[in-house]
Structures are given as structure tokens and as C-alpha cells.
């Protein structure tokens, strides 16, 4: 056990002490210096010893520390002293390289507190290793800049901005907040940002201002679902305003049946249609709100161009009766204020519809991983192994190159043969070039794959 416990060839284990929770391994390193660290001279002599404690991977469920009697050296030429360099030990921390790597990998799957408990390290140290590991991953992975970009948000303690690739159903980045400065800085640093053609977003002014400042040629499209959802919100306002007129029993019934009012009429079954008829017949304002919600959906479903959509909306706006106009005020104001960007949808139907599954995924991950920081959750989503959507490397198209057969009438007789000392009628073939492969593209983690990994317990 003593010989194989470390499995580090450059360390010679002298003895092992075991307690209930720890292994204490005493070892020496065989690593003589090649020269002075300061001047490079090889004239160095021993100058004392000092014990170093090096943390290593947990073994057999116990924390492990290596106690190394490290030698100090003195240069006979410059007089400087230095400690010997320990093999397989991280240059920044008093722990092995493999422990640093293991902590980085584990930090995407587990809480910092649990890793600290397994290793005997301070939680702050785990957090610092995690940040270094994420920086390495950031440099390693480059996600393709989307031509169709989605900008949305998810509430994790506070609102966070999510950047997505609509065309590939992938996540590109998660930003710590949704402030204009944060989004603007991200877009400025985005490689290939001039290739972004469309940006789908909700009606959040900082998003619009950031895109217009950095991506002036990109077409902003207000996500359809953020607009039509406001029609459902208006129905909810009317429903809630009726509660004061109802008995406790009726109030509970209306709360229970609210899902009927939020569903599309075409999706209701016979029982739900009966419930809807009952509520709208007894409460005309609720019926008016529901019909206005349905007719607003029809603006999107029945319009084939921005001009047609605007005409349909204006007709709808005129049909809003005074009794429920206050409930629809937010929708009317938003449509008027964001009209050019909302109408862009009818020419370029780009939408963040799939981000609902993304939001559900992030919420579930956040709930399952209580104790995660935003940075850890972001890294867990962006750098999950096996979730990235990539293209395969393939050889570039090569045009066949070949010199035609030379005949006596190509050039004056004997001229080519005299010039190159080769016989006539010889076919020349160009030397086969080395085959070059296009670099595979990484579009980021696929949302559906992330959900599958989560459901299977592999994430």
C-alpha cells in the first residue's frame, strides 16, 4: 500500500499514517536542480531543508496530504537561495496538478462546500480554482456568433441575460445581469459581430439600445410571445378585478378555472368550453377581455406582412371597449412604442420560442443544485461535456489540377523537349497537395441535449 498509494513516480514514500478521515503520507522528491533560478549557474550546494505540505486527491474516501522534506539550495556564484521544484505540484498552489484538475471538473457538478469537505481545503480556495478552470474553458471553447441571435432573460436571484443561437437552438452565453453596459460590452467583444443579421428580444430598452449601438445593421425583432403574453396578462387583470364581487366559493372556482381563460379557444375541450361560457355569460367584462385576447392572437396568425399586421392591430385597438381598456393599456402602449420592431416579425418571423425550455432547464438546475453561485451554474450550462452542437471537420474542396498531354503542335517542334530535357507527349500531373480540413464549428450547448442529460441524471 505504501508503494502504490500516491502513484507519483517522482516521489518516494517513506511512511504513511492513517486516521479516521485522513492519510498523512511522508515522502521525498528526487528532483535535483538543473541550475540556479536567478543566474543559471550549475554551481549550487545544499542550504538546509524545509517541510512542505502538499494536498492530493482524496483516496479511499479520506483526505490526503503529502509531507515533503524539501531541500533548499544556494548558488555559489550569485549567492541566491531557492527551494527545489517539486514534480507534479501546481506552481500556484501547494497541491498536486491532478488535484487542481479534479477540483475544477468537480466544481461543475458539485457545490464548493462539498468539495472543500472532501479535500480539507478552504471553500475560498475551491472557488479560486473553479474560476481559473472556467477561464481555461473560456479560452478553449469558442462558440460561433449566431446570425439569428436571441436575447432573453432568466431570473436566478435577480435577472440574468441569456444569449442564444436561434438557428441552432443553442446557448451562446449567460451574462451576470441585463444592464445596458453589460450587454453592450459583451456585444463589442463578440468576434464576427458584423455577421449578426437578426436579434430577437423582449421589450427591454437596454437590450434595444445596446444592439443599436453595436450592431447597427442587425434587424431587431420583438419576440412574438412576449407581445401576445401581454394579452393574457390583461385577461388576468380583469379576472382579478372581479374577485371583490364574488363569494368565497365563486372566488375559489374562478381561481381554479383561470387556466381556461388563458388557453386558446381552439384548444378547449367540451367541458372547458362550458366553463368558459358560464364565466363569460355571467361576467360580460371577462367575456369581452377573453374575446379581445383571442382577436389579438389573430393579428399575428392572420397577417402576412407588416402593413397587414398594422391594419389588423388598428382595427383591434378600436374594438377595445371602455370597460376593459384599462386592463389592455400596457399592451396598447407597448405596441405603439415598439411598433417598428414588433412589425419586423411579420417580415422576418424570428422568435425565441424555444427559450421557454431553456428557462425551465435553468430553473430546474438551479433548484437541484442549491448552493451554486451564478458563475458555477453558468459554467455548468455552457461547458457541459457532450452537450455542444458541432459540425464535423471535413476536407476543403480541391480542384483537380493536371497538365494536358503535350503534343507536337502545342509548341514549335522540339522546343519544350530542349528546354526541359523530357520526351514529347508526356502527361504532367501536379503534385498532390496536402489535404486541409476545415475547422469544426461549435455552436454552443444544445438545449434539448442539456434537458436530456438532466433528465437522465448525467448533469
Which band of pLDDT confidence, cut at 50, 70 and 90, is reported for residue 388? confident
C-alpha cell at 52: 512542505
Which residue from 218, 232, 233 is spatially nearest to 166, judged by alpha carbons?
218
Q: Which domain holds residue 24?
A: 11-138
| Residue-wise pLDDT tens digits, 37-74 | 778 777 776 666 777 888 999 988 899 999 988 777 78
pLDDT at 265 over 90: no
Q: Among the three residues 138, 158, 178, which one is the final residue of a domain in this structure?
A: 138
pLDDT at 252 over 80: no
Indicate whether 77 belongs to any domain: yes
Residues 228 and 330 occupy one common structural domain: yes
Indicate whether 355 belongs to any domain: no
For 340, list phi and psi in degrees, rounded to 5: -60, -40
Indicate whether 441 belongs to any domain: no
Given a contact cutoff of 8 angstroms between Cβ atoms, the answer to whether 380 and 134 are in contact is: no
Spatial distance between the Cα atoms of 136 and 458, rounded to a whole number of angstroms:
23
Residues 37 and 134 occupy one common structural domain: yes
Q: What is the mean pLDDT of residues 83-102?
A: 86
pLDDT at 297 over 60: yes
Which band of pLDDT confidence, cut at 50, 70 and 90, is reported for residue 276? confident
> pLDDT value at position 122?
92
Indicate whether 454 belongs to any domain: no
C-alpha cell at 211: 444592439
> pLDDT value at position 403?
46
CA angle 365, 370, 373 (to 5 degrees): 85
Residue 376 backbone class (left: φ over 0; alpha: ψ -120 to 50; beta: rest): alpha
Quick one: what percent of the chain has pLDDT higher than 70? 80
> pLDDT value at position 356?
61
Residues 228 and 134 occupy one common structural domain: no
Query: Which is higher by pLDDT, 37 or 293?
Result: 293
Query: Which is higher by pLDDT, 365 or 378?
Result: 378
Indicate whether 332 belongs to any domain: yes
User: What one-character-per-residue DSSP string does 169-238 give?
Assistant: TEEEEEES---HHHHHHHHHT-TTGGG--EEEE-S-HHHHHHHHHH-TTSEEEE-HHHHHHHHHHHHHHH
Spatial distance between the Cα atoms of 134 and 370, rounded to a whole number of angstroms:
20
pLDDT at 162 over 80: yes
Which residue from 419, 406, 450 is spatially nearest to 174, judged by alpha carbons?
450
Q: What is the mean pLDDT of residues 78-88?
A: 78
> pLDDT value at position 416?
42
pLDDT at 223 over 80: yes
Q: What is the mean pLDDT of residues 164-169?
A: 89
Which residue from 211, 166, 159 is spatially nearest to 184, judged by alpha carbons?
211
C-alpha cell at 199: 436579434
> pLDDT value at position 459?
64
Q: What share of the chain is helix, strand, coil (3-state, %, to 5)?
A: 45, 20, 35
Residue 79 backbone class (left: φ over 0; alpha: ψ -120 to 50; beta: rest): left
pTM for this one?
A: 0.74
Secondary structure (3-state) at 407: coil
Which band of pLDDT confidence, cut at 50, 70 and 90, is reported for residue 368? low
User: What one-character-per-residue DSSP string does 8-39 give?
Assistant: -TTEEEEEEEE-SSEEEEEEEE----SS-TTT
> pLDDT value at position 271?
86
Given a contact cutoff of 8 angstroms between Cβ atoms, the answer to whether 255 and 290 are in contact is: no
pLDDT at 245 over 70: yes
Burial of 292 (0-12, 13-18, 19+ CB in 10 A): buried
Indicate whether 147 belongs to any domain: no
C-alpha cell at 350: 424570428
pLDDT at 419 over 50: no
> pLDDT value at position 359?
67
pLDDT at 109 over 70: yes
Which band of pLDDT confidence, cut at 50, 70 and 90, is reported for residue 180? very high
Please, what is the average pLDDT of the chain?
Answer: 82
pLDDT at 436 over 70: no
pLDDT at 2 over 70: no
Strand order in the sheet with 170-175: 170-175, 158-165, 148-156, 198-201, 219-222
Q: Among the three residues 138, 171, 205, which one is the final residue of a domain in this structure?
A: 138
Give Cα 418 to chain centroid, integer Å.
66
Spatial distance between the Cα atoms of 277 and 365, rounded to a whole number of angstroms:
40
> pLDDT value at position 409?
41
Q: What is the mean pLDDT of residues 154-173?
A: 87
Pairing of strands 62-75, 81-83: antiparallel
Given a contact cutoff of 8 angstroms between Cβ atoms, the answer to whether 88 and 96 are in contact is: yes
CA distances 54 to 11, 22, 32, 89, 221, Å, are 12, 13, 19, 8, 56
Pairing of strands 22-29, 62-75: parallel
> pLDDT value at position 117?
93
Q: Among the three residues 111, 138, 165, which one is the final residue of a domain in this structure?
A: 138
Q: What is the mean pLDDT of residues 94-119?
A: 90
> pLDDT value at position 423?
47
Indicate whether 85 belongs to any domain: yes
Residues 121 and 234 occupy one common structural domain: no
> pLDDT value at position 6?
80
Q: How many domains does the chain have?
A: 2
Spatial distance between the Cα atoms of 97 and 54, rounded to a whole number of angstroms:
10
C-alpha cell at 2: 505504501
> pLDDT value at position 451?
76
Q: What is the mean pLDDT of residues 86-103?
A: 89
C-alpha cell at 176: 451576470
Indicate whether 432 belongs to any domain: no
Amino acid at each position: 500500500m505504501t508503494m502504490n498509494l500516491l502513484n507519483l513516480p517522482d516521489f518516494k514514500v517513506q511512511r504513511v499514517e492513517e486516521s479516521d478521515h485522513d492519510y498523512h503520507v511522508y515522502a521525498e522528491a528526487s528532483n535535483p536542480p538543473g541550475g540556479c533560478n536567478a543566474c543559471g549557474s550549475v554551481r549550487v550546494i545544499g542550504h538546509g531543508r524545509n517541510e512542505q505540505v502538499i494536498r492530493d486527491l482524496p483516496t479511499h474516501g479520506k483526505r490526503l496530504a503529502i509531507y515533503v522534506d524539501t531541500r533548499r539550495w544556494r548558488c555559489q556564484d550569485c549567492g541566491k537561495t531557492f527551494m527545489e521544484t517539486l514534480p507534479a505540484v501546481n506552481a500556484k498552489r501547494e497541491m498536486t496538478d491532478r488535484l487542481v484538475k479534479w477540483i475544477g471538473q468537480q466544481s461543475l457538478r458539485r457545490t464548493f462546500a462539498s468539495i472543500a469537505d472532501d479535500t480539507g481545503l478552504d471553500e475560498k480556495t475551491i472557488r479560486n480554482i473553479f474560476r481559473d478552470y472556467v477561464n481555461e474553458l473560456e479560452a478553449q471553447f469558442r462558440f460561433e456568433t449566431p446570425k439569428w441571435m436571441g436575447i432573453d432573460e432568466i431570473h436566478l436571484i435577480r435577472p440574468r441575460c441569456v444569449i442564444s443561437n436561434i438557428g441552432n437552438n443553442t446557448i451562446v452565453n449567460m451574462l451576470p445581469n441585463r444592464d445596458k453596459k453589460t450587454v453592450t460590452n459583451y456585444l463589442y467583444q463578440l468576434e464576427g459581430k458584423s455577421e449578426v443579421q437578426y436579434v430577437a428580444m423582449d421589450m427591454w430598452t437596454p437590450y434595444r439600445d445596446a444592439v443599436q449601438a453595436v450592431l447597427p445593421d442587425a434587424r431587431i425583432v420583438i419576440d412574438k410571445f412576449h407581445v401576445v403574453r401581454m394579452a393574457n396578462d390583461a385577461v388576468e387583470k380583469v379576472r382579478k378585478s372581479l374577485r371583490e364581487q364574488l363569494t368565497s366559493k365563486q372566488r375559489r372556482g374562478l381561481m381554479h378555472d383561470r387556466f381556461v381563460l388563458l388557453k386558446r379557444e381552439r384548444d378547449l375541450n367540451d367541458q372547458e368550453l362550458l366553463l368558459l361560457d358560464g364565466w363569460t355569460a355571467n361576467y360580460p367584462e371577462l367575456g369581452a377581455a377573453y374575446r379581445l385576447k383571442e382577436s389579438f392572437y389573430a393579428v399575428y396568425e392572420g397577417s402576412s406582412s407588416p402593413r397587414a399586421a398594422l391594419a389588423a392591430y388598428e382595427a383591434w385597438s378600436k374594438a377595445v371597449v371602455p370597460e376593459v381598456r384599462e386592463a389592455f393599456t400596457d399592451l396598447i402602449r407597448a405596441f405603439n412604442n415598439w411598433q417598428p420592431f414588433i412589425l419586423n416579425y411579420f417580415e422576418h418571423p424570428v422568435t425565441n420560442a424555444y427559450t421557454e425550455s431553456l428557462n425551465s432547464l435553468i430553473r430546474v438546475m438551479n433548484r437541484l443544485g442549491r448552493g451554486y453561485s451564478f458563475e458555477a451554474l453558468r459554467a455548468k450550462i455552457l461547458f457541459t461535456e457532450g452537450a455542444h452542437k458541432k459540425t464535423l471537420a471535413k476536407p476543403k474542396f480541391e480542384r483537380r489540377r493536371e497538365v494536358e498531354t503535350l503534343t507536337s503542335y502545342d509548341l514549335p517542334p522540339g522546343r519544350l523537349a530542349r528546354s526541359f530535357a523530357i520526351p514529347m507527349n508526356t502527361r504532367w500531373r501536379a503534385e498532390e497537395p496536402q489535404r486541409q480540413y476545415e475547422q469544426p464549428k461549435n455552436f454552443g450547448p444544445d438545449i434539448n441535449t442539456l434537458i436530456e442529460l438532466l433528465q437522465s441524471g448525467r448533469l
